[in-house]
Amino acid sequence: MHDDRSITEHRLRRVLEERVKPAVRSRAVPLTVERWEAPGEPVPVAAGLAAHYEPCAIGDPWGPAWGTTWFRVTGTVPADWAGRTVEAVLDLGFDRMMPGFQCEGLVHRADGGEVKALNPYNDWVRVAERAEGGEQVEWYVEAASNPVLVDHAATYEGDLPTSGDQPLYRLARMALTVFETEVWELVQDLEVLYDLMIQLDTADARRHEILRALGAALDALDLDDVPGTAAAARGCLARVLAAPANGSAHRISAVGHAHIDSAWLWPLRETVRKVARTASNMVNLMDQHPEFVFAMSQAQQLDWIKTYRPELFERVKKKIADGQFVPVGGMWVESDTNMVGGEAMARQFLYGKKFFLDEFGIETHNVWLPDSFGYTAAMPQIVKLSGSTWFLTQKISWSQVNRFPHHTFWWEGIDGTRVFTHFPPVDTYNSDLGGAQLAHAARNYREMGHGSRSLVPFGWGDGGGGPTREHLARARRQRDLEGSPKVRIERPDAFFEKARAEYADAPVWAGELYLELHRGTYTSQAKTKQGNRRSESLLREAELWAATAAVRVAGYAYPYEDLERIWKTVLLHQFHDILPGSSIAWVHREARETYAAVREELRAITLAAQQALAGQGTEELVFNCAPHARRGVPAGGAGRPAGAGEPVTVEERHGGGHILANGRLLVEIDGRGLIVSVYDLEARRETVAPGAAANLLQIHPDFPNMWDAWDIDAFYRNRVTDLVELDRLEVTGSGPRSATVRVTRSFGRSGAVQQITLRAGAKAVDIVTEVDWHETEKFLKAAFPLDVKADRTASETQFGHVYRATHTNTSWEAAKFEICAHRWIHAEEPGWGVALLNDSTYGHDVTREVRADGGQTTTVRLSLLRAPRYPDPETDQGSHTLRFSIAPGAGIGDAVREGHALNLPERVVRGAGPVAPLLTVDEDAVVVEAVKLAEDRSGDVIVRLYESRGGRARATLTAGFPITDAVESDLLERPLAGAAVGVPTPERRIPLTLRPFQIVTVRLHRP
């Protein structure tokens, strides 16, 4: 038989696009349109309804960047449309090739209630299923003219003060139409079958069967009367649509979803509206399709609906109760997981899950993080302690080098905890349920022969509107269709229960889920990262001292509401496009302002608590919030510091420069202002590699192949400039307690001033780097070449650390050319190591080389600043102050202690006398992470601690106040069955036994 496949396929495509789809709407009458431009920021709905509207015509331009235009549309359904299905088409000027990232609208009734949202693939509003004729239509459309910022070009449209004022869109269509249901169904039939057919092999008989049925349907269709012949055409397709799937067909659990970044190419205030638009559409779709299930993560987004759209929130609550609208994720936002601190990660779950429990009575079991940029190895334990049991991600499919070997697996964390994890093989979290994507999911699935099912999140994201009726039509047709995977719309938990039941012995992946992409996010927008780190530290201080004051001082009221509000603000800004520095300028400008306000408020809370504890007096007291004693002041207490050790000396160095010494370290700074020696006098070891210099600032070109703020590509290393030219070198402080050498440099259009300080009694050299940064597409690093043979380095992560190889034996190790560390990174050979500590830096890289003398140089570099042009062309421009230290002879315990000390500065308050700690722990390996009062306002004290060195630990927690009991709890402060916490003694001593990196939360009940 002659091969006419291409002819029939081409015929179908043309007929479908030019005749069948246009015939879905057979008649049309224009609506009357008026408009009102809202001045400035969006206004309340009542103000939009009450505004003065002026005439507007189709084709009129509207909407400057970030503006809001209100349209009033009115009309009457013609009398001769009685009995017909009538819909309005309200096209704001959408680009059909881009389902999100552009203009959007929300339709309101005259009474202010929302109707539904308008998006490129959802530009209609149903008027009547069976019109009577003469129905009056009056709607108000709140239209957002968000600029299109997706082309990865530098633009100043990403912030209100620098954006243009010219209209961005033209009103395309506002009309009442007759909706031809049978034609619409025919469109769905044709698209599903065509998409399925072209995925089948040309030797597959099923492909040819579908081809012949499509040809017959086209023959049955009268192109001059598509509505009148649509039923006949559909009849030609009925048999091939009814053929059941093979018994071994891949099973897909389709979950409605609308991935909405809480901020990215739009500010937070616009996300508030995006969420309302999407939720409005979803509850409407649920009204029409009871089988539809929609999953929404991020408690913050549901809280926005509750706050700003209470009517809509009530509708959402009803759908949640019905089981169609499904909260997932259990976190406050879909946060970054690489840089978020340990306690902040715990609070993501505490406040996220608490919101779902308080508002809906739902305990979420699903951790839903499809789009974050890699996942910390601490996550499995945190997930389990939150009461969650499943984990879902998608982003690992973006890795550039290595293909992840599993789609369903057990993920093992640093402490040994395992969580059942799924990585959808469809490789998208915005699926259209089309044949190409479903076929890819089935072919790509790595667990064939062991498992048979995967999850597919479907729906347009980021303002694209979420799932549509077309998506549901595809799901219905592919529920049991020969040649296709079997598609069933169901809740995520249903999928995970089935997947685990059929594949309980799934393989194990131990350690972090490192994304081989977006490594630049560890460094971009340094002030956002600094604001996050400092806010986390300040929250620790505020809670510790407020809890101590609440227990010890009569009349002191613990600031529950303030602390919860501030925590939620900080958690919001840990969203995976804010903290990583990959949002527009508006987002980061607001973040800097927010962090400044948070800083002032937390300092006030802390000072008030400290003053209440110190009492009236003139004695100078040092408050130590760090989890270890320092300078004689106990952890969590206040008093006079002890002596500092041998005095610091400064002398001139032969050949130029200076030598600093304190009896423990001998530090040489040469005439270039570089550290050429840090000699450990106790171990008699040199820290700096022979012939090398530490604290060497280096600058690289930084122009990745794509994703400017997100990525750095390995080729950036091919060119480097060492910043050794010196403007000035001077000793600026010299005394028995400390000595400082100031180094000033200029480079490009920028400058740097470094203050290198050695303190009495210290086993670390402190470096404060002030950079006036005005480079473009450059990358600034600080290099420390160490005389250490280290096959691996340890990097602090949440509640512990991870080891990473320094070699590049395999592509997996080579791909980790930029890594994330929190407060410290540690390189060690047996018996001696070095820690590099920081106060706000996350990006690092480690390389090694063997020298001519046979020794190994391990070079650790801190990534200080970048200057990408997209999406914020002014990224990191301006002044920065960055602090880091080098600690020779440090073990892991030293790194933990010094990292906390650097990030938790001492506070000096005058008062009556010393303040005893609220509690003590007698083992330095067991670190107290948080001390607070319980969320239920019972007055109980919550203590969260962890084993920090990777070994087993026994410790005694002693309460400095009356208690009745000590109970091990989960992250939501509920009793947890476990053996870590022993029975308190009469002396309020609680024995603890911890495995490596174990997190333990203890609830101390007060009488």
Count of positions (residues) in the chain: 1007
Q: Cβ distance 661 to 648 under 8 Å?
A: yes
Q: How is 546-597 classified by DSSP, letter by letter? A: HHHHHHHSTTPPP-HHHHHHHHHHHHHTTBTTTTTT-S-HHHHHHHHHHHHH
Phi–psi pair at 89, nearest 5 degrees: -105, 120
Cα–Cα distance, 802 to 512 (Å, whole number): 8
Distance of CA 414 to the CA centre of its chain: 21
The pair of three-digit structure tokens given for residue 67, joined into one six-digit string: 């503006």
3-state secondary structure 141-183: EEEEECCCCCCCCCCCCCCHHHCCCCCCEECCEEEEEEECHHH
How does strand 878-888 pair with strand 765-773? antiparallel
Give the residue among 123, 18, 33, 40 at the shortest CA–CA distance from 75: 33
For 249, the 3-state DSSP assignment is: coil
Verify whether residue 371 is a known catalytic residue: yes
- 690 HSE (CA, 13 A, CB side): 8
Q: Cβ distance 462 to 371 under 8 Å?
A: no
Cα–Cα distance, 292 to 823 (Å, whole number): 46
The pair of three-digit structure tokens given for residue 450, joined into one six-digit string: 């062991």
Marked catalytic residue, from 261, 371, 462, 702: 371
How does strand 114-118 pair with strand 67-76? unpaired
Q: CB-based burial of residue 247 (10 Å sphere; 0-12 exposed, 13-18 middle, 19+ buried)?
A: exposed
Torsion of the alpha carbons at 601, 602, 608 and 613, rounded to the nearest 10: 180
Q: List all residues 6 or more positions away from 221 whose beta carbon is below 8 Å from its beta carbon.
A: 15, 19, 20, 229, 230, 232, 233
Phi–psi pair at 220, nearest 5 degrees: -80, -10
Give the residue among 872, 863, 852, 860 at the shortest CA–CA distance from 776: 872
**What are the CA-CA distances from residue 298 to residues 252, 295, 394 (Å)?**
24, 10, 16
Q: CB-based burial of residue 663 (10 Å sphere; 0-12 exposed, 13-18 middle, 19+ buried)?
A: middle
The pair of three-digit structure tokens given for residue 769, joined into one six-digit string: 């780097």
Q: Give the catalytic positions in this structure.
A: 371
